[in-house]
Structure 1
Amino acid sequence: MTDVRHEDAGRGFAALRPALMRVAYRMLGSVADAEDILQEAFIRWMKVDRGEVLEPEAFLRRTVTRLCLDQLKSARHQRETYVGPWLPEPVVEEEEEEEEEDVTLPLMLALERLSPLERAAFLLHDVFGLEFEEVATTIQRDAAACRQLAARARTHVREARPRYQVSRHRGLELARAFFTASRSGDMQALGAMLADDISVHADGGGKRPAAAEPILGFEAVMKFHESLAVKLRESGSTLVRAGFVNGLPGFITLEADGELQTTALDIEDGRITAIYVVRNPDKLRHLH
């Protein structure tokens, strides 16, 4: 009888796992850390008196959120000692998938500037649509405080919301064109795609070569890609597939050192305004 109850509990958790993973990943920006959080939540779920749990989804969401808040305390120190620009681990959608991403990469970076409680209140209310009473129960603050936390967060992340979102089809067209131009060294085609205030952010984590600081402005980015194209013509860079990287059009490539790399493009008014490249192999393991 106990085994049957455990099996039922395991199936119930498995059904809720995708939704719980969305909460954990958006809180932490790390696939590996989110997986660890879900494993701990599962262990707690198997130990709890489930007969006393009226709403399993709400109980597990509270458990996951609170575990993430604890994790963020140590994560903040890790970010401060990180080598070079920090980007969240890339989650890649197949190009055929039609689900619109609710939290894009620029928004995730904006969330990094929030306190853990602000991040939790904003995500739970503004992204996942929970009432403030439920948010209050989850993060153990009163509803009025949660409203203030979410309002402060909203002010900080407003600029990260896409104002002129490109269609999925057009986004992928630009991503493929950008790959071709940047690898072949077609500077005229590349320049036509870039906005004047273009920026490049590369996360190597100190484990693979990457720019130590963001590269800012049209001229600097063009110069960077001109020298990069020379290296890539000699060493090679293979397109694995196009898709959506944290909600942005982009692609996965196999580089000359045998490691994967993701590139995500933030696009406004038909021009690329930011390029996000993840090269840190620790952040790409799940893609293999």
Structure 2
Amino acid sequence: MNEIHIFLKWKHYLFSIAYRITGSYADAEDIVQESYLRWLSAKKEDIQNEKSYLGSITARLAFDLLKKASRKKETYIGPFLPEPIPETAESMDDERINFAFLVILETLNPKERAVFILRELFDFSYEEIAEIIGKTPDNCRQIFSRARVAIQSRKKKFEPDPKLHSKLLLEFSFACYHQDTQSLTKLLSEDVIAYADGGGKVHAARIPIPGIQRVVTLLKKTTEKKAKSTEIYFGYANGSPALVGYSNEVPSFVQIFTIQNKQIDTIFNLVNPDKLKGFQNKENLIKLGYLRKPSWITWVLFNVRRWFLIRN
């Protein structure tokens, strides 16, 4: 097996490391490319374990970039959210992290995030991690323990049924389309909170919007503006059902939800164009099954059901 085939064998693994450490699709792509260049110039006779060698290079590059990015986040305009990637639950690899979990990882400092991901998800030894972040193995054990406690305190105890998630997503999209306040109120929890990431490049709320009344008002206002110029698709982002909007064939938003007690309790709305690069090739994503348009039958059945509910 030549050096190119060896690298391609581990390319997805390397992207997984880079993406989960940085939370950025574009940065992960760049890191994988840089890892490839370093692999080409490496002395292959000195390498005993190709996966370990490539993984360490990628992790070190990702960690270095994460430290630089953390300083930029301090001056970021509005809520900072990770970049979503097109990924169904079935296509996700063993290192599964949904979008809500990526948001939790944003609360960790760079060392905590890198140590937790490399140890918990990729089973790096503490000795390997120590070389990557410049700490001792004992320090890494302490950092990992601290990160795990912080994550567990924020992580939800229950994950929703995928069928329920898809059902709520469908009902939510139709309620927004019809400006149906009554249906939206039933779909959202009382303490729902909405985050919008525009990065100062697209108009978006610069603070989280809490509470059902304020969120409903926001949804009706933003949906009304988008309805005429945006093509809506049902899609998948980081293993969860999502709404994906396109304007002039360019992705304009990705909307992801979390659910608690059969209601939507968090809405993540990404509109910063720099964070939508994973959804650029619309036709290819449709072929791969990551996007689909709602069929006319779906629309008819939903409206018939809605009519009966109103009548009763």
TM-score for both structures, normalised by structure 1: 0.89
Change (3 A) 1:154 1:98: closer
Deviation at 1:130? 3.1
**Residue by residue, what CA displacement relative to the aligned partner does 1:148-174 show, whole Å, maximum 9, x if unpaired?**
011111122114433111122221121
**Shift of the alpha carbon at 1:97?**
4.3
Residues 259/195 of structure 1: CA separation in 2 closer, same or farther (3 Å cut): same
Q: Distance in 1 between matches of 2:48 and 2:93?
A: 30
Sequence identity percentage: 31
Q: State how far apart, in whole Å, the 1-side matches of 2:95 and 2:186 are.
A: 27
Contact 1:82 1:205 in 2 (8 A): yes
Structure 1 residue aligned with 2:232: 239
Q: Which residue number corresponds to residue 70 of structure 2?
A: 76
Does residue 146 of the first structure (1) align with residue 140 of the second (2)? yes
1:268 partnered with 2:260: yes
Structure 2, unpaired ranges of 5+:
281-312
- Cα offset for 1:29? 1.1
**Which aligned pairs between 1:1-288 and structure 2 lie closer than 5 A?**
8-94=2-88, 97=91, 102-233=96-227, 235-243=228-236, 245-255=237-247, 259-288=251-280
- CA deviation string 1:196-252 (max 9, x = no partner): 21111111111211111110111211222233344345x354322322x22333121
Cα distance change of structure 1 residues 197 and 272 upon mapping to structure 2, 3 Å threshold: same
Q: Distance in 2 between matches of 1:33 and 1:43?
A: 15
Q: Is the 8 A contact 1:178 1:190 kept in 2?
A: yes
The alignment covers a number of residue pairs equal to 280
Deviations 1:5-31 (A, max 9, x none): xx8111111110111111101111111
Sort the Cα spacing of 1:209 and 1:77 in 2 relative to 1 into closer, same or farther, 3 A.
same
Is the deviation greater in 126-135 or in 204-213?
Answer: 126-135
Q: Distance in 2 between matches of 1:109 and 1:170?
A: 22
- Supply the RMSD in Å over aligned alpha carbons: 2.2
Structure 2: distance between partners of 1:283 and 1:232: 19
8 A Cα contact 2:89 2:238, kept in partner: no
CA distance, structure 2, for counterparts of residue 100 and residue 269 of structure 1: 27
* Residue of structure 2 equivalent to 1:3: none
Work out the CA distance in 1 between the residues paired with 2:5 and 2:156: 37
Equivalent residue of 2:87, what SS?
Answer: strand
Distance 1:223 1:241 in 2: 23
The answer (yes or no) to whether the contact 2:187–2:264 under 8 Å persists in 1 is yes
The code of the aligned residue for 2:100 comes to: P
More off after superposition, 106-115 vs 44-53: 106-115
